[in-house]
Each structure stands twice: as structure tokens, then as C-alpha cells.
């Protein structure tokens, strides 16, 4: 239960490629959100005092973060296009990122993969035919 005087805000990582479009879409749906530098993940839900302003320049979640009144909630997400997911599985970044997410004391860590599940096969056949399609499908559903 959220205490009186707090609001839930979605922090979107500043380094997210299409953050302007994402923020605009979220604000159009009346989702309270703002750009921040996140140490891990692309989207992080927090609770903070309603009158809070963005005063810290340190990445949220990093040691010594000055945002003492901000409480990290139980959900974090990493966003991937299908091309980035395939690339990260091939070069090993996927395992490293998954490990960093799994090490957090946040119970709900997940990937948002921008692709239809059924579109993976045609993409793979064109862009990396020698790669095991099951590796990518597993990565899409088992984070």
C-alpha cells in the first residue's frame, strides 16, 4: 500500500534510444514518468514524495544515490528489439545483462522484446541463419 504523499513514477533510462517517443507515449496515457540515468535496466518503477523534483545526477540504483526519499518498487525492465536480442545472445551480453538483473533485490525483472513471437523465425533466417532459433526464443520467454 502506497503511503499518503507518495506517487508512483516510471523512470526511463536516458540512454534508451527512443526515450523521447516512449516518454511522449507514456505521458499521453497519463503515466507519470521521467528520464533518469539508470545503473541497470531501461525502466524502473519507484515511489517518491509527490512534491519530489529530479535533483540527483547519479544513476538510480548506484551506491551513494542522493535520492534518499525515493523507494525502488518491485519491477524493472530491459527493452530489446529483436535485432538487439539476437545480437546480445550471439556476443554474450544477454547472459551478462540477465545476471545483473537477477542479482538485484527486485523480484520482478523482465525483458520487453519488440517483436512478434512468430516473426522471429523469418528474422533469423535472413539475418543469422546459422544461429539456433531456440536460443532466441528461450531468451524471449525465460528471463
Mean pLDDT, range 41-60, rounded to an integer: 71
pLDDT of 95 reads 87
pLDDT of 49 strictly over 80: yes
pTM: 0.71
Whether 42 sits among the annotated catalytic residues: the reply is: yes
Whether the CB-CB separation of 92 and 55 falls below 8 Å is answered with: no
Catalytic-labelled residue, pool 7, 16, 84, 91: 16
CA distance 62 to 112: 23
Catalytic-labelled residue, pool 7, 13, 20, 84: 13
pLDDT of 143 strictly over 80: no
Which tens digits make up the pLDDT trace of 127-142? 666 666 666 666 656 6
User: Minimal CA–CA distance to 101: which of 88, 86, 117?
Assistant: 88
Catalytic-labelled residue, pool 42, 67, 78, 84: 42
pLDDT of 61 strictly over 80: no
Whether 91 sits among the annotated catalytic residues: the reply is: no
Q: What is the largest CA-CA distance in the chain?
A: 55
| Cell numbers standing for residue 120 | 522471429
CA distance 86 to 134: 11
Q: Which helix (H) or strand (E) holds 112?
A: strand 108-114
pLDDT of 119 reads 60
How does residue 107 score in pLDDT terms, banded at 50, 70 and 90?
very high
Whether 29 sits among the annotated catalytic residues: the reply is: no
Amino acid at each position: 500500500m502506497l503511503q499518503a504523499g507518495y506517487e508512483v513514477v516510471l523512470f526511463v533510462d536516458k540512454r534508451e534510444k527512443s526515450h523521447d517517443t516512449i516518454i511522449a507515449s507514456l505521458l499521453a496515457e497519463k503515466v507519470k514518468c521521467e528520464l533518469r540515468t539508470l545503473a541497470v535496466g531501461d525502466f524502473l518503477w519507484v515511489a517518491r514524495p509527490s512534491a519530489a523534483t529530479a535533483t540527483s545526477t547519479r544513476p538510480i540504483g548506484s551506491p551513494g544515490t542522493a535520492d534518499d526519499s525515493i523507494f525502488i518498487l518491485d519491477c524493472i525492465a530491459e527493452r530489446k528489439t529483436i535485432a538487439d536480442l539476437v545480437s546480445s545472445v550471439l556476443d554474450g551480453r544477454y547472459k551478462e545483462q540477465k545476471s545483473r538483473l537477477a542479482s538485484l533485490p527486485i523480484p520482478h525483472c523482465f525483458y520487453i522484446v519488440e517483436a512478434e513471437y512468430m516473426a522471429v523465425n523469418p528474422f533469423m533466417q535472413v539475418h543469422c541463419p546459422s544461429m539456433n532459433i531456440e536460443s532466441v526464443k528461450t531468451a524471449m520467454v525465460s528471463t
